[in-house]
Structure 1
Amino acid sequence: MSKEVSEEGQAHHGKDYVDPPPAPLIDTAELKLWSFYRALIAEFIATLLFLYVTVATVIGHKKQNAADQCNGVGLLGIAWAFGGMIFILVYCTAGISGGHINPAVTFGLFLARKVSLIRALGYIVAQCLGAISGVGLVKAFMKNDYNRRGGGANFVVDGYSTGTALGAEIIGTFVLVYTVFAATDPKRSARDSHIPVLAPLPIGFAVFVVHLATIPITGTGINPARSFGAAVIYNNDKIWDDHWIFWVGPFVGALAAAAYHQYILRAAAIKALGSFRSNPTN
């Protein structure tokens, strides 16, 4: 943050940072901007690359592990693939689209009024199409192994209940979306400017550690586009029966993270009430 902006924020807001204004609920003007469509393309390509690399890693591991129980990258390697790709792709696309690459992240940021409804819906469609395309490439390149090794699709693993799987997805997505809010908070950027925090790094690590905890339960969704793309291409009854968990869980987790960050940590409700009392309209 520049000195001029900091000084203006202190002078007019009594604080050393300035929150951006909330995004309009419906901003039709975005539909006329090339930057909007460029962002959609960025989200599509990023999600395609994310699914291609990660699902290929899962299939490759299962193939190697089936031949020799000591081969394959293991749970740790799969978690690194997911977390590392998110770090790379968020870093690459943050300046173009914000680097969401996940409908749950987009939903959480929409609830916090960081993006408009039109942009949120556009991002979610682009992400889902990118995910389908990415998994489609994996199937095209590794068809026999893809079909035999489960297609990298998410489902409730035997031994776990639907409630446990749903809870794991809610908590895992909460961790991710909470990290996104914390890493991109203008208040943190201003007050911790002496600490070189690269936002994609904690976001990637959040994905990594959540996968370590959740792979044994659901294979780890925490990203509806990731689960949807794999389900569409693999197209198995068991996968579709469990699929609702990988939309409801992440969206509930994102809702909880947005509410916690905005209304507890940032006290948005209290600030709004204070502003109303100091500037009554009646």
Structure 2
Amino acid sequence: MAETGQSVHIKSAPKDYSEPEPHVLWDSGEFRKWSLWRAAIVEFVATLLFVYIGVGAAIGNGRTHPDGVGMLGVAWSFGATIFVLVYCTAGISGGHINPAVTLGLLLGRKLSVNRAFIYIVAQIVGAICGAGFVKAFQKTRFQVEGGGTNFVAEGFTSGAGLGAEILGTFMLVYVVFSATDAKLKARDSHVPILAPLPIGFAVFVVHLVTIPITGCGINPARSFGSAVIWNHGKAWDDQWIFWIGPFIGASLAAIYHQHVIRVLPDKHFLLPTLSLSTMPKARPQS
């Protein structure tokens, strides 16, 4: 016990984590780096494989055919494919495989604008090629099953379809932010290895609830690729839902994670937002 009059100094434990600085918004030097184009190729190939396997499973034998994989099988095919592809590509491109995920991470200042643009172009082209392979291998079934294209099912309104896409994408991008959080990586070494698992499960569970409504897009590239190859009016009538919905959902997820879950400064978000610290405080009642 310390003697009277002497002060006891307790050393505070050093912080085990410091928040990384937000990524620069524009880096023209990236265009001259092989790492950017290698990552773009990886996003192209991964999105091609994702659409090929997912859409192929959706139209193979028909989801309602007795020998088909059924809705549960389709959901598993998309979720499991995302799991393995994110595992393979996360160390190179970040494993986005989805323009909505890329937009969400861009808003969270996780990559530059120019890299995000290149990624989205690569994802769109990859999705078109993936759907093209499905048609090439299963031409008759592709036409009969509508090319695995996303559109609002009969009995549902466009508003219901839009809401389902917003909520589904919010779920996915929220899980992506949480599973790849740099703070968790710094404190738990196993997090980078396990990150693809919750992301794949998020895609799986969202498909379970959204397939009956829209066929489950939550990925503009996947929806656009099938629509381009099938090229029927029904696919294009609802196409706007599968861009606006996922982009709104991804934006809301980025805001929620950065400002509510992590309470990060405004510099960690691309667009201006109202900081909680600048909101007027309630006056005490007299």
- Band of TM-score, shorter chain: 0.7 to 0.9
Match of 1:6 in 2: none
| Alpha-carbon distance in 2 for matches of 1:56, 1:80 | 13
Match of 1:3 in 2: none
How far residue 254 of structure 1 moved from its aligned partner, in angstroms, is: 0.3
Structure 1 gaps of 5+ residues are 1-9, 277-282
- Which amino acid counterpart does residue 170 of structure 2 have in structure 1? F
How far residue 210 of structure 1 moved from its aligned partner, in angstroms, is: 0.2
Instruction: Report 1:43-192 matches (<5 A).
Output: 43-62=43-62, 65-66=64-65, 70-192=66-188
The answer to whether the 8 A contact 1:18-1:186 is kept is: no
| Alpha-carbon distance in 1 for matches of 2:168, 2:179 | 17
Match of 2:260 in 1: 264
The answer to whether the 8 A contact 2:179-2:191 is kept is: no
TM (norm. structure 1) is 0.88
How far residue 82 of structure 1 moved from its aligned partner, in angstroms, is: 0.2
Q: Structure 1 residues 194, 74: closer, same or farther in 2, change over 3 A?
A: closer
TM (norm. structure 2) is 0.86
How far residue 16 of structure 1 moved from its aligned partner, in angstroms, is: 1.9
Secondary structure at 2:176 match in 1 = helix
Which structure has greater helix proportion?
1
Q: Which has the larger radius of gyration?
A: 2
Matching residue within 213, 221, 234 for 1:217 = 213
| Alpha-carbon distance in 1 for matches of 2:247, 2:226 | 18
The answer to whether the 8 A contact 1:61-1:74 is kept is: no
| Alpha-carbon distance in 1 for matches of 2:192, 2:93 | 22
Structure 2 gaps of 5+ residues are 1-11, 269-274, 279-286
Instruction: Report 1:219-238 matches (<5 A).
Output: 219-238=215-234
The answer to whether the 8 A contact 1:43-1:127 is kept is: yes
The answer to whether the 8 A contact 1:44-1:127 is kept is: yes
The answer to whether the 8 A contact 2:43-2:123 is kept is: yes
Aligned length: 261
How far residue 193 of structure 1 moved from its aligned partner, in angstroms, is: 4.1
CA RMSD across the alignment? 2.2
Secondary structure at 1:268 match in 2 = coil
Identity of aligned residues (%): 62
Q: Structure 1 residues 55, 194: closer, same or farther in 2, change over 3 A?
A: closer
